[in-house]
């Protein structure tokens, strides 16, 4: 699945966007506690510099969130790795819903690990750019939609896993309703400065949520932009 990064010169990158830069980032993620080989291998191959503006490409392999326009950000690589790990660890999901496509990077990581990814973004321009990247990289197992992702994607539910990449005040019941019986949802929850990453699964007496640590995400907003 990583063949694209070796064939296409733009995807392969040079200097600050080279394979060496990706290798160093992955070494750092492993040192910071990311253990899942599958996640590390996908992130080692995926050209993150193609998901941000060219002017910022030299910073693509720093472990930091970066602006992608419209006041939004591409998530920090460590957070992408951690969320992906949390989503696929209990059991590799087959169909995943992502809320908040943004640059498309998190979605592209998932698309190389699972059978089918559905992603919803409320800002049309960001979605257009993300779709262009998916096409360029030949990622053909992604379906995307311009909508308020807090509503999920009812026509395609249930999902084996749901990942939310913007922070809401609480968990969205519409999303929990679209989880398959043994599915899990990973989402940041809470106000700016006090957000926690949660993994939620169905227990015998209702939802069981587990905290995966403090995070910092842009807000989950209502409607479409
Ligand atoms: N997964 C993205 C992270 C982007 S930041 C990436 O890898 O780049 C979060 C994104 O969530 C933003 O693009 C923002 O517009 C979007 N968002 C916020 N609220 C949303 C909502 N209700 N529905 C869909 N997308 C939303």
Distance from the CA of 100 to the center of ligand 1, in angstroms? 3
7 pLDDT more than 70 = no
Mean pLDDT of 167-178: 96
User: Does residue 25 lie within any of the structural domains?
Assistant: no
User: Does residue 220 lie within any of the structural domains?
Assistant: no
User: Does residue 102 lie within any of the structural domains?
Assistant: yes
Mean pLDDT of 148-155: 98
State which of 69, 128, 165 you would mutate to test the pocket of ligand 1, scoring each by most atoms of that ligand within 8 A of its C-beta: 165
Mean pLDDT of 58-64: 96
Distance from the CA of 25 to the center of ligand 1, in angstroms? 24
Distance from the CA of 220 to the center of ligand 1, in angstroms? 7
User: Does residue 47 lie within any of the structural domains?
Assistant: no
In SS3 terms, the chain reads as CCCHHHHCHHHHCCHHHCHHHHHHHHHHHHHCCCCCHHHHHHHHHCCHHHHCCHHHHHHCCCCCCEEEECCEEECCHHHHHHHHHHHHCCCCCCEEEEECCCCCHHHHHHHCCCCEEEEEECCHHHHHHHHHHHHHCCCCCEEEEECCHHHCCHHHCCEEEEEECCEECCCCHHHHHCEEEEEEEEEEECCCCCEEEEEEEEECCEEEEEEEEEECCCECCCCCC
CATH of the domain at 189: 3.40.50.150
Structural domain boundaries enclosing 153: 65-215
User: Does residue 109 lie within any of the structural domains?
Assistant: yes
The count of structural domains within the chain is 1
- Measured distance CA(97)–CA(92) in Å, rounded: 14
State which of 50, 72, 81, 100 you would mutate to test the pocket of ligand 1, scoring each by most atoms of that ligand within 8 A of its C-beta: 100
Ligand 1 binding pocket includes 221 (Cβ within 6 Å): yes
Ligand 1 binding pocket includes 106 (Cβ within 6 Å): yes
User: Does residue 117 lie within any of the structural domains?
Assistant: yes
Q: What is the pLDDT of residues 81-136, one digit of tens each?
A: 999 999 999 899 999 999 999 999 999 999 999 999 999 999 999 999 999 999 99
User: Does residue 30 lie within any of the structural domains?
Assistant: no
User: Does residue 91 lie within any of the structural domains?
Assistant: yes
Q: What is the pLDDT of residues 21-33, one digit of tens each?
A: 999 999 999 999 9
75 is catalytic: yes
- Measured distance CA(127)–CA(22) in Å, rounded: 25
Give this prediction's pTM: 0.96
Mean pLDDT of 10-14: 82
5 pLDDT more than 80 = no
């Amino acid at each position: 699945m990583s063949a694209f990064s070796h064939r296409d010169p733009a995807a392969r990158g040079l200097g600050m966007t080279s394979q060496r830069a990706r290798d160093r980032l992955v070494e750092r993620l492993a040192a910071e506690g990311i253990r899942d080989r599958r996640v590390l291998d996908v992130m080692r191959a995926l050209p993150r510099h193609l998901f941000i503006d060219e002017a910022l490409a030299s910073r693509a392999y720093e472990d930091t969130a970066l602006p992608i326009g419209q006041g939004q950000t591409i998530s920090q690589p460590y957070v992408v790795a951690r969320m992906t790990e949390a989503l696929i660890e209990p059991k590799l999901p087959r169909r995943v819903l992502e809320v908040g496509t943004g640059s498309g990077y998190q979605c592209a990581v998932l698309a190389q690990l699972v059978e089918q990814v559905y992603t919803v973004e409320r800002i049309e321009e960001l979605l257009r750019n993300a779709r262009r990247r998916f096409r360029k990289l030949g990622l053909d197992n992604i379906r995307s939609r311009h909508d308020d992702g807090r509503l999920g994607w009812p026509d395609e539910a249930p999902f084996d896993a749901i990942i939310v990449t913007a922070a809401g005040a609480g968990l969205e019941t519409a999303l929990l309703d679209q989880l398959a019986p043994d599915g899990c949802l990973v989402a940041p929850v809470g106000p700016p400065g006090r957000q926690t990453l949660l993994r939620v699964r169905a227990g015998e007496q209702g939802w069981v949520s587990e905290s995966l640590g403090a995070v910092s995400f842009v807000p989950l907003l209502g409607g479409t932009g």
